[in-house]
Amino acid sequence: MDDMLEKYVANQIIALLILAKKIPMCYNGSMINLKNAIKFDNYPHDLDNFRLKAAENHFLVRAITDNSMMDLQQFVVLREARRRIIGNAVMIQEQQAETMLGAVEYARLLALNKTSRADFMDEISQHMAMLGNARNIFDMAGISVSVGCLICFALRSLGISFDLKETDMIYEAIPHEISEIERIFNEE
């Protein structure tokens, strides 16, 4: 990596770390390992939550592959249904992890795209595959990297501007319009 690109990546990561506020960090040699710093010790192991999480991940990937606002809205509806199952405090913890981990990955991939489009596309595909693999649904820290990063790319591909300086969590940048699906969920 040339010096200019290396400085760009470093500056993007530092800016995102500052924006994420109060990031618990583990020092691992010369590298900050944020994924290992995020703990989900009290995460509820509720089957309905995990089923909805899998569906939520599916709609997030489709929002990107199909460039679909409707799929992004369905992601929101499912997330709000999960919030009712796992509680607001746990959902906030999940969204904070997505913001801290996903935003850093998003910045890294934007920099990678400047040097190698093929490597960039390969890594985006890996993040999408992670969300599609049922075994990964229980790795909340690992999946938070992919979810947060892909939320950023979904917003970008749909032309929705977002600024991490203006929001505490990436999820808040998604338009939260009431849809017919949400009305159906609320009636049950």
Side chain identity at residue 81, one-letter code: A
Contact between 60 and 151 under an 8 Å Cβ cutoff? The reply is: yes
CA-nearest of 70, 48, 64, 89 to 146 is: 64
CA dihedral 25, 26, 27, 31 (to 10 degrees): -70
pTM of the model: 0.77
What is the reported pLDDT for 22?
37
**Segment 134-163, tens digit of pLDDT:** 888 888 888 999 999 999 999 999 999 888
**Segment 71-119, tens digit of pLDDT:** 999 999 999 999 999 999 889 889 988 988 888 889 889 988 888 899 9
Task: Write the DSSP symbol of residue 27.
Answer: E
pLDDT more than 70, % of the chain: 70
3-state secondary structure of 31: strand
